[in-house]
Amino acid sequence: MEHYDATTYGDAIAHIYDDWYESYDPAAIDALAELARGGPALELGIGTGRIALPLQNKGVMVHGIEASEKMAARLQAKPGGYRIPITLGDFGAVPVTGKFPLIYVVFNTLFALLTQEEQIQCFQNVARHLTPDGVFVTETFMPDMKRFQHDQNISLAAMDDGYLRIDVSKHDPVQQLIYSQHVAWTESGARFYPVRLRYIWPSELDLMARLAGLKLTQRWSDWNKSPFTRDSVKLISLFSRA
Ligand SMILES: C[S@@+](CC[C@H](N)C(=O)[O-])C[C@H]1O[C@@H](n2cnc3c(N)ncnc32)[C@H](O)[C@@H]1O
């Protein structure tokens, strides 16, 4: 693909995003509501509002940052969506005013920033928008090199009568980049949904936080707050002021 920027993924996938990705783990909504402690929350890469809307229904005022106008339009068309302010722009810059007791970025969305420098700057910008006792929550997958053979991976994502979806990825272990295409086939042909990610190792994540004056306070392997272990496939990390 010649051109890929912060809007590419969302603009391509917005029309089917909510069909592919079901409602979010209710335990995530409970944990985030608890962490907001009655205050407003800021979601980085708010998308179609899978997390923001149920969180708002629990009484948390949520503000979102989103690059894709098409994703934001989907959110705003949903019941209650008009009550969620959305800032269109790059979440790495955190282009909002005010401070929040909770800032969160879930579903691996932090990895949508494609260089280490952009990810470090995101932590630094987040730190400027946290209240003194504020919490920054990241949910990311644990990088798994076993997925790749010769730095490539093909996996089946969904299959039904007359429908097939596969994920095809190329891996650059030096830049920690994964270049993927979700490919969906129906009887009328194939459609491509590009996605690029720069994964972050847990120790690197903690170092990014330190560079921003934050420190890791808790790390879970799921939203039920199970401890993170060497076998965990995801990490939910909580950072506060050092
Ligand atoms: C995987 S989706 C997650 C959406 C939502 N958080 C959820 O879990 O359903 C990632 C979202 O981040 C947005 N995004 C990606 N890079 C971005 C950037 N640099 N700035 C703002 N939004 C971005 C995409 O358009 C997309 O809506």
Domain locations in the chain as residue ranges: 8-142+200-241, 145-197
Residue 190 tokens read as 């194939």
Q: Whose CA is nearest to atom 24 of ligand 1?
A: 10
Residue 23 has pLDDT above 90, yes or no: no
Q: Does domain 145-197 have CATH number 2.40.30.10?
A: no
Task: Classify residue 187 by its DSSP letter.
Answer: T
Residue 50 tokens read as 């899978």
If you average pLDDT over every residue of the chain, what do you get? 96
Evaluate: CB of 92 within 6 angstroms of ligand 1. yes
What atom in ligand 1 is closest to the CA of residue 17?
A: 9
Evaluate: CB of 107 within 6 angstroms of ligand 1. yes
**Centroid of ligand 1 to alpha carbon of 161 (angstroms):** 30
Residue 1 has pLDDT above 70, yes or no: no
Radius of gyration of the chain (CA): 18
Residue 200 has pLDDT above 80, yes or no: yes
Mean pLDDT, residues 30-44: 97
Distances (CA, A) of 105 to 24, 40, 117, 162, 192: 13, 15, 17, 35, 25
Fold of 8-142+200-241: Rossmann fold (3.40.50)
Mean pLDDT, residues 21-36: 95
